[in-house]
Amino acid sequence: MLEAINFGSTVFIVDENAALLFLDNFIRMHDEAMFRKPEKYVIMTMRSTTEPRTTDIIKAIQSHPAIEEIANLLLIVPKQDRYEFLTHRYVGNLPEAVDLLLLDTYFPKNGSFLEGASLFPDKLKDLMGKTYQLASFYLLPWVMPRQTDSGIVNYLNQSYTIDGLDGYLLVLFCQRLNCTWDLLIDQYWQYGQVFKNHTGNGMVGALAERKADFALAAVGAWHQLFRYFSFSIPIQWIGITCLQPRPTLIDYWKIVFMMFSSTVWAVLLLTFFLVALLDYYMPSDVTRWSPNRRGFSWSLINVLGAFLLLPFEMRRNRASEVMLSVALSAFTLIVAYVYIGKIHSILAIPVYEPAIDTIIDFAGSKLRWNAPHEVWMYLIAESDNPHIKQILTKFHVSPVPQLEAIANRGAEPIVMAKLHFGHSMIGEWFTADNIENYRLMSDFLYYEYDTGYATKTWPLLGQFDHLSMWYRDGCLSRFVEQMDVFRYMNQRVQISIEHSRDRPPNKVKVMEVDEIEGGLLMLGIGYAMAIVAFVGELVVHAAKRKKIVRRLAMKWMNRSKGRNLME
C-alpha cells in the first residue's frame, strides 16, 4: 500500500475481506508516504449475499475513524438481482456524517442504472456545519482570535472569530464551505516542534499527533517539516530581516586615534624611536661622556616636539645634521597637516559607528540576534553562504519576557518580518520608546511564503488552495493587512521603523567638554606617568641617600676605633 501511494495512486479498490485492514492502515501509510494528493477515492466491494454478514461489515466500516478522512467513498453492495451503490454523508458531524446514502442502483441483466447519478458527488460544496480541528496561536498581525456572539470558531466552548492576515482567510474558508473550526491554541510552545516518532508540541505537534486537521499562523514551507505534512500553495510573501542596534556617536577620544590605521600608527611610532636614536647617537661637538651631553630622554622630547609642530632644536653644524633636520621637518609637516585635515573634516559632522545594513555587515558584527522561536532560522539552517553560516552561530531563542528586556537595552538585534504590502511584523516587546534604539537593515536575511499545513489525508486542502488563490488575486490580502495593522498594532512603532534609516540633521554645535576629552585623556595619562616616575625617583634618591649616610657612619666609626687604638 505504501509503495502504491508513493507511485501516485489516489484510487483504491478494496474487497470486503480487506476493508477493515485497509482502513486500519489508511492513515498510517499516508503519514509515511512522500506523495501527497488530497483527493482520495475508495471503492469497497461486498461479495457476501447474506444480510447479516453484509450489515456487520458495513457497520464496522461506518464506525471506523478513518472514514472521517475519506470524502469520496463508494460501497458496492449486491442485492439479489441488482447492485446498490452507497456512500456516507460525510458532511455534518457525527453520527449523522457516517449515515449511508443510496446513490444509484445497477441492474446487470440489462446493464443499466436506475438514476444515472454521479457515483462520486461533490460533498465539499456545502459541509453543513461540519467541524474541523484547527491548530494555531495568537500572533500579530496574522491570527488574533476575538470573542463574538456569531462566530464560526469554537474555542473553550465559546464562540469566536479570527482576525488577521491568516485569520480572515480561515473565517472566509468556513463561510464559503459552511463549516466550523474547533480551535486549538498552545501559546506557550507557539509553533512547537515535531519529533521522529510523530509526536510533538505546539501548533505543528498537534497536527503531527492528528489532534488537528489544519494549521496556519505565518508558517513557511520549511523542509524540516515536509515529511510530516501536506503544504498548501503559497499564500503571501514575507521578508525576514532584523532590527539592528542604532549606531551611536563615537566617543571623541576614539576619533583622535581613528585618523590613521593601526599600520600607520605603528610606522609613525617606529619612525619616532628611530629618529630619536639617530639624534642621540649622531656625533656632536660634545663628547659622549661629557657631563654637558644631553641624554636620550632629551632626544625623545625634541623629536616629539618636531612631530607635534612645536619648536625644537634643529642640528645645523654639519651638512649631515642639516639634512637630518630638513628631512624631519618635511616629514612631520606632511604627516601633521594630513592628520589635522582629516580630523577637521571628520569633526565637521557628527561621527557615528558603522551601521549594520547588509548581511556582510551583520556577519562581521558578530552580534547575537534573538527570536522567540527557532523556526525563524529554519529556512537558512542549511545554507552554504559563509556569511549566513556566521550569522547562524549567533542565533539565540529568547522567551518573550527576555525579548522585552533586550529591546529596552537596545544592544542586540531582534528578528522581524516585512509583510507583503510594506508593513512590519514585530512583537509586542517593541514599544514607542524602545523602538528608537533600533534601525532597520536594508538587506533581508531571506524570503519565504506563508503556507498552510494539513494532515496528508485532509480532503479539503484543494478547496483551501483555490480560495487562497482567489483571495490573493483579488488583492483582499492588501485590504486585510492595512485594516488589521491599523487596528491591532502601534502606528508610532510602524512609522519609527520606516524612518529608522533616516539621517539626523547636521546642526552647528558649540564645542563641548567631550570633544576635548581625547586631549584631556592624553594629559591625564602623561601626568599620571610623570607622578609615578617622580615617586620612583624619590624612592631611588632616598635609597641612595640612606646608603651614603650608612657609608659615612661606617667611616666615622672606623676612624673613632683607630684613634682609640693609638691612644
pLDDT of residue 560: 66
Segment 286-307 shows an average pLDDT of: 68
pLDDT of residue 6: 87
- Residue 338 confidence class, pLDDT cut points 50, 70, 90: confident
pLDDT tens digits, 378-392: 989 888 999 999 999
Look at 36-50, 353-367, 511-525, 537-551 and tell me which has the smallest mean pLDDT.
511-525
pLDDT tens digits, 5-26: 888 899 999 998 899 999 999 9
Task: Write b or e for each residue in 130-148: b if 16 or more Cβ atoms lie within 10 A of its Cβ, otherwise e.
Answer: bbbbbbbbbbbbbbbbeee
Question: Alpha-carbon distance 54 to 133, whole Å?
Answer: 33
Task: Using the predicted structure, report yes or no on whether residue 35 has a pLDDT greater than 70.
Answer: yes
pLDDT of residue 511: 55
pLDDT tens digits, 245-290: 998 888 777 777 777 788 888 888 898 888 888 877 776 654 455 4
| 237 compared with 521, residue with greater pLDDT | 237
pLDDT of residue 462: 94
Q: Is the peptide bond before 399 cis (omega within 30 degrees of 0)?
A: no
pLDDT of residue 487: 93
**What sign does the CA torsion over 502, 506, 511, 516 have?**
positive
**What sign does the CA torsion over 75, 79, 83, 87 have?**
negative
Task: Using the predicted structure, report yes or no on whether residue 510 has a pLDDT greater than 60.
Answer: no
Model pTM? 0.78
pLDDT of residue 254: 77
How far is residue 312 from each of residues 233, 249, 267, 369, 376, measured CA to CA in Å? 80, 37, 22, 54, 64
Look at 47-56, 151-160, 382-391, 486-495 and tell me which has the smallest mean pLDDT.
47-56
| 256 compared with 362, residue with greater pLDDT | 362
Render 169-210 in DSSP notation, one character per residue.
HHHHHHHHHTEEEEEEE-TTTTT-EE-TTS-EEHHHHHHHTT
pLDDT of residue 451: 94
pLDDT of residue 547: 73
Q: Read off φ and ψ for residue 260, nearest 5 degrees.
A: -120, 155
Give the strand pairing for 414-418 and 193-194.
unpaired
Cell numbers for 314: 634643529
Look at 40-54, 168-182, 284-298 and tell me which has the smallest mean pLDDT.
284-298
Average pLDDT, rounded, for the chain: 87
Task: Using the predicted structure, report yes or no on whether residue 142 has a pLDDT greater than 80.
Answer: yes
Give residues with Cβ within 8 angstroms of 110, minimum separation 6.
Answer: none
Cell numbers for 103: 446513490
Segment 356-368 shows an average pLDDT of: 93
Task: Using the predicted structure, report yes or no on whether residue 512 has a pLDDT greater than 80.
Answer: no
pLDDT of residue 235: 93
| 545 compared with 267, residue with greater pLDDT | 267
Task: Using the predicted structure, report yes or no on whether residue 152 has a pLDDT greater than 90.
Answer: yes
- Residue 429 confidence class, pLDDT cut points 50, 70, 90: very high
Which residue(s) pair with 215 in the sheet? 135, 453
Q: Identify which of 211, 192, 210 has the alpha carbon closest to the alpha carbon of residue 202.
A: 192
